[in-house]
Amino acid sequence: MQHDLQKADDQKIRTELFSTSSQLIKKIRKLEKDHSDFLLCDQMMYHDWRKLTFREELQEIETLERRQKILNTFQVHLNYVATTSNVSPAQAYAMLKEEEGQYQCGDDMWKYVIDNLRKSRYESATQALPRTQNPAMDSVERVDFAEIFFRDDSALSGLKRTARSVYHYLSDIDNRKIEQHLADPTAGYRLFKESLQITIKCGDWHLLGRVWKSADPGYRQRYLHNMPMHLKKFWQKVISDNERDEALEESRSDADTVLRATYYKLVRLLHPDKLVEQSLEYQQWAAVKWQRTQAAYQDSDVAALKRLEMLCLAELGQLNDLTTEEISQCSNLFEAELESLKKNITQCTQHPAWKFSSRRSYDSLKQSEYDELRKRLIPLRADVSAMEVLLEGYASKCH
């Protein structure tokens, strides 16, 4: 009897604590619906309309931007070689062309060496540049020099089909299976050597580390035996870096466990396949929360998933799954949620897709979109054309 009384009193406290959030939930759901309509309807319709209406302009921009990126990165290499070798740009162009010829004729190990030479050169060239002039401060650009010197040679397109198949097969199997294949007494070492070359070509250092660790120690010694000392040191550095990355990956496993556990709880509440028998209103509410769940999970944001779990349980009235402290926190969470939604809606109203489905005319929007695309196209065309002419001038002096 006393136990039942305590349970009833606890439930009453929970309900009173939650009552302050009820009005906030109603406002939140109204704004969530507006935001959901924008994301799932208006914005998608707008993007489809834009792709169809300006198909040619968008394709040209994509092609020009890709070419511009290649040319800009090549220009960094060209200027660096000209400066450090104290030669003219035309002579630097000839030196880089000779380097690319060696790259195309070399084996996988030689290509690997040149790729890393280019990576180091690019890092050295960009470190001294101010951020405004630096074409890629956050990541090292890898330019395909065949795009500059051998653009029409389709034979320079990467791994052969058989090698690609081996790469995908190795990626899909576990380390135990790799060990079994490499243990073959007649073909094990050859498979080991060719597998390493394939992973180098693909730039997959994680798979390279797996193959290396799965091999017999005798294979490793044999592979390193005739390798020049500078390459051997470089190779050992790659392996040690890979082992360090794997150790860091293991240290994240605990956080990943919490992330997945919270995510699966939200899956049970929000996944579309589990809502077939629910009302349309519930499905619409769940669709909004499901989008945010997916985004938080992709970002590995455990805190965001935990907040979503608490909010969902509170909105569904599943108070027994929350502590009284968590329920009292819900009011603050809902206040923050409401303010965040208001800011999102304000930003959405500035987007051309806002209320797109209810537009009566598209003429003014079409003209403004066309003007914006022209502002991007005209300088892009001029920039790429100027760089192409410059490189053609260097090429003519090489003959």
Mind listing the pLDDT tens digit for each residue in 253-288? 667 788 888 888 888 888 888 887 888 888 888 888
Q: How far apart (Å, rounded) are the C-alpha atoms in residues 36 and 285?
A: 9
Q: Which amino acid is at 157?
A: S
Q: How far is CA 175 from CA 37, 222, 241, 307, 339, in A?
A: 47, 21, 19, 38, 50
Pair of tokens at residue 207: 């798979």
E strand segments, the chain: none
Q: Are 40 and 287 in contact (CB under 8 A)?
A: yes
What is residue 167's predicted lDDT score, i.e. its pLDDT? 76
- Residues in the chain where the model's pLDDT stays below 70: 1-11, 13-14, 17, 20, 128-162, 249-254, 319-322, 398-399
Q: Are 110 and 102 in contact (CB under 8 A)?
A: yes
Q: How far apart (Å, rounded) are the C-alpha atoms in residues 276 and 155?
A: 52
Contacts of 60 (CB under 8 A, 6+ apart): 377
What is residue 241's predicted lDDT score, i.e. its pLDDT? 79
What is residue 137's predicted lDDT score, i.e. its pLDDT? 43
What is residue 376's predicted lDDT score, i.e. its pLDDT? 93
Q: What is the pLDDT of residues 297-306, one digit of tens each?
A: 888 888 888 8
Q: How far apart (Å, rounded) are the C-alpha atoms in residues 235 and 239?
A: 6
What is the CA angle 336-337-339, rounded to 5?
A: 65
Q: How far apart (Å, rounded) are the C-alpha atoms in residues 327 and 334?
A: 11
Taking 3-state DSSP, the helix, strand and coil percentages for the chain, each rounded to the nearest 5, stand at 80, 0, 20
Q: How far apart (Å, rounded) are the C-alpha atoms in residues 114 and 96?
A: 11
**Residue-range domain boundaries for the chain:** 64-155+386-398, 161-251, 254-322
Pair of tokens at residue 154: 């389709």
Q: How far apart (Å, rounded) are the C-alpha atoms in residues 293 and 305?
A: 6
Q: How far apart (Å, rounded) are the C-alpha atoms in residues 36 and 256?
A: 29
Q: Are 265 and 313 in contact (CB under 8 A)?
A: no
